[in-house]
Amino acid sequence: MTTKADTKPILSQSQLTAVDLLVSGATVTATAEAIGAVRQTVSEWLNQNAEFKAALNRRRLELWNEQSDRLRGMLPKALDCVEAFLESGSGQDQLRAALGVLRMAGIGNLAKVGETEADVIRDNDMFSELARGLAR
């Protein structure tokens, strides 16, 4: 029996490397240079290749989930710092850092990385193109 996963096109090694570079914060230009491609190629993958976009979004989601666990581990220390400041009224730098951690902990619902299935990306792109055509 063939499953949906069996029929998905596989990304090239260059594309997989590009995904990792982009997720780590590399620019499109730096990514292209690192994989031996021109900038336009990586831009086209980002803008027109549903499989590439889905893989990038899956990797972003994976990274976000890993870092969310680490962030949750900092919450007790951050709350202790806020509590100590409230009791003593000192330690401004510690308080700012603790409040930063608490703010970051609240962004879980805002951390949208995008669609992780290429078929859905293609459908969304098609509907967007149709809507632009109707708006003209």
pLDDT (tens digit, 9 = 90+) per residue, 63-106?
888 887 888 888 888 878 877 777 776 777 777 777 777 776 66
Residue with tokens 């293609």: 122
Q: What is the pLDDT of residues 45-55, one digit of tens each?
A: 999 999 999 99
What's the rounded Cα separation, in Å, for the pair 23 and 21? 5
First to last CA, the chain: 45
What's the rounded Cα separation, in Å, for the pair 92 and 115? 40
Q: Is the separation of the CB atoms in 59 and 20 below 8 Å? A: yes
Q: Is the separation of the CB atoms in 23 and 60 below 8 Å? A: yes
